[in-house]
Amino acid sequence: MKIPETYTEFEDTFQASKPPSNWPEPLKALWFMAKGDWEASHDIAQDLHTPMGSHIHAHLHRVEGDDWNAKYWYRKAGRTYPRVSTKEELKHLIVEVLKEGS
């Protein structure tokens, strides 16, 4: 399956049981989070040693309710704590990763 170009195309992949193996790791992590699998998403995100990986990691801890840990990861990502809902933040992250193509 090709890498989605839009958020709608990304959502259209949710019928699958897992993301395609050819997708970049950040997109796989976000796919699992969008499907409600925090653990699978975190397993990927904690091994992404990039600003985007740190941002995804921050989002996950924010969703978990661990604000102290989330704030640490936002700082590592060079980001500020978001003022939008976690649902909105997830969509923004997905769109950003799709634009980066990474």
Domains of the chain listed by start with CATH number: 7-100 (1.25.40)
Per the CB < 8 A criterion, the answer to whether 2 and 10 are in contact is no
Q: Please state the rounded mean pLDDT for residues 17-23.
A: 93
| Residue 65 DSSP SS3 | coil
Rounded mean pLDDT, 16-37:
95
Q: Which amino acid is at 66?
A: D
State the pLDDT at residue 1: 72
pLDDT level of residue 88 (50, 70, 90 thresholds): very high
Mean pLDDT of 7-31: 94
Element (H, E) at 28: helix 25-34
How do residues 33-85 score in pLDDT, each as one tens digit?
Answer: 999 999 999 999 999 999 999 999 999 999 999 999 999 999 999 999 999 99
Res 102 pLDDT > 70: no
Q: What is the pLDDT of residue 2?
A: 84
Decide if 55 contacts 73 (C-beta within 8 A).
yes
Give CA 77 to chain center in angstroms: 13
Q: Are 70 and 58 contacting, i.e. CB atoms less than 8 angstroms apart?
A: yes
